[in-house]
Amino acid sequence: MSLEHEGTIERPPVSVPSTEGFWNRIIGIVSVIIVAAVVFVIFGPRPDLGGTLDVSGLPVVIMAFNASTTVLLITAFAFIRLRRITAHKNTMLLAFGTSSAFLVTYVLYHWCKEGPRSYEGDWSNVYYVILISHIVLAVTVVPLALTTLYRGWTRQDDRHRRLARIALPVWLYVSVTGVLVYLMLYP
């Protein structure tokens, strides 16, 4: 039995693939590498580029990727509520792409500049609550998003749906608070 959406034929849900353990290990390894890379570029040594690479414009690019991810996640949610599966899938892949672009620019920026920027506003308690919750959830969103995407891609619909109910709000929170942190640091 196939389901028809948007003029395309969708495959019915499949059983859990025999490669599930392999992909779970890959997701775990990739998640650890990403988190370790971010920690390293923030707290590790910086390269001496002698002023050859100007990254001063990257914070606005980083914020734009976060804002784009937010819009794409909300759009993908709307598509799935309308049962537009192909549009949902494509929009989620775009959200994954903007999140990946965010990560690359974030790592590049923090590796090439002098440590994290200090908050200098009047709302330091609010800022640090947002920042700390953002950091903690950003660490968890990596394996959550990757696993949710994997389950959707392999049409493990029930497992995908259950995990997406957790992953979507976490991913949204991380992308929205990323924008807020930028706005608080660069008024």
Give me the domain span that covers residue 95: 16-185
Nearest to 57 by CA among 113, 129, 11, 7: 113
Task: In whole angstroms, give the CA distance from residue 111 to residue 104.
Answer: 11
The amino acid occupying position 134 is H
For residue 6, is it within any domain?
no
On whether residue 116 sits in a domain, the answer given is yes
Is residue 70 within 8 Å of residue 179, measured between CB atoms?
yes
- Give the list of residues 6+ apart from residue 183 with CB closer than 8 angstroms, or none: 63
pTM of the model: 0.82
142 in a structural domain: yes
Place of tokens 């999140």: 99
Residue 8 domain flag:
no
pLDDT tens sequence across 48-88: 766 677 888 899 999 999 999 999 999 999 999 999 999 99
pLDDT, one tens digit per residue, over 137-168 is: 999 999 999 999 999 999 999 999 999 999 99
Give the separation between CA 72 and CA 80, rounded to whole angstroms.
Answer: 12
Tokens representing 60 are 């606005």
Token pair of 111, please?
Answer: 């590796």
Domain count, the chain: 1
Structural domain includes residue 175: yes
| Domain containing residue 173: CATH number | 1.20.120
